[in-house]
Amino acid sequence: MEVVIAPAEELAVLAADAIETLLRRDPATVLGLATGSSPLKVYDELARRHEQDGLSFDRATGFMLDEYVGLTEDHPQRYRNVIETEIASRVAWPADRVHGPDGLADDLPAACAAYEAAIAQAGGVDLQILGIGTDGHIAFNEPGSSLASRTRIKTLTRQTRLDNARFFDDDVDQVPSHCLTQGLGTIMDARHLVLLATGRHKAEAVHQLVEGPISAMWPATVMQMHPHATVLVDDAAASRLQLGDYYRQTFESKPGWQGL
């Protein structure tokens, strides 16, 4: 696991560099997309590169991590719509190449199975962007999630619903209580995991993710088992890391050509 501690703008550039490298090498790259605040600067940077440098998403495929259950098709917080607004529309990504679990399906387990099949059919995810919840969730794999889980329906914790109430007029009751989410096993199949976290409120979750024992109580800790996982954090999110100085020295002495 590589840990990079830098200001948020630099983290976004590093993540965008990794994505651009893949897209330039193989325009049919498969990208895993997160919603929430953490990836927004990365999406801004990709949109800038699309506009100014012609970075193309025409042949790329996107798979979202998760989706709320029951939000109407036109709800602005439906993750499919959030992804459309925050990244897909800004990089002219063909709509039929960006996929998410169907939170409006009559048969939710069948929708989850179909989603797993679609990811497999696409050849798996090359690079998965991730954020982390204050309770250590990735995607919506809340504490107690099986470390081998696949896409399925989950109940959001009260903490996650409170954290996300800011997107719902600060009204926790408007935040759905259920979601469909890629499982930890699904996420672990991606070839490169890139997690972004900023702010002091993420410091404990980041400490557990990087330095804690692997445990379903902190689901992100499963990433310690991934052969290519990158954790991009600002000073505040890194503030509880025991080996912070070591991670800083390691990144400073890394040759620039190496990438993430």
Q: Which residues are catalytic?
A: 66, 135, 137, 142
Look-up: residue for tokens 């440098």?
53
b/e code 146-185 from CB counts within 10 Å (16+ = b): ebebbbbbbebbeebbebbeeebeeeeeebbbebbbbbbb
| Least distance in angstroms from the C-beta of 100 to ligand F6R | 10
CB-wise, 28 or 165, nearer to ligand F6R? Answer: 165
Q: Name the residue among 197, 196, 215, 210 with its Cα closest to residue 242.
A: 210
β partners of residue 67 = 180
Q: Could you give the 3-state DSSP secondary structure of residue 253?
A: coil
Closest chain position to ligand F6R (CB) = 131
Under 8 Å CB-to-CB from 252, ≥6 apart: which residues? none
Of the pair 34, 241, the CB lying nearest ligand F6R is at: 34
Residues that bind ligand F6R (CB under 6 A): 34-38, 65-66, 131-133, 137-140
Minimum CB separation of residue 253 from ligand F6R in Å reads: 30
For the bound state, the minimum distance from the C-beta of residue 250 to ligand F6R, rounded and expressed in Å, comes to 25
CB nearer to ligand F6R: pick between 5 and 138 = 138
Which of 57, 111, 112 minimizes the C-alpha distance to 83? 57
Q: How far is the CB of 37 from ligand F6R (least distance, A)?
A: 4
- Classify burial at 187, counting beta carbons within 10 Å of its beta carbon; exposed 0-12, middle 13-18, buried 19 or more: buried
Residue 196 CB, nearest distance to ligand F6R (Å)?
A: 8
Q: What is the DSSP letter of 240?
A: T
Helical spans, DSSP H, in 84-188: 108-121, 158-164, 184-188
Is the Cβ of residue 38 or residue 208 nearer to ligand F6R in the bound state?
A: 38
By beta-carbon proximity to ligand F6R, the closer residue of 131 and 244 is 131
Tell me if 28 sits within 8 A of 56, measured CB to CB: no
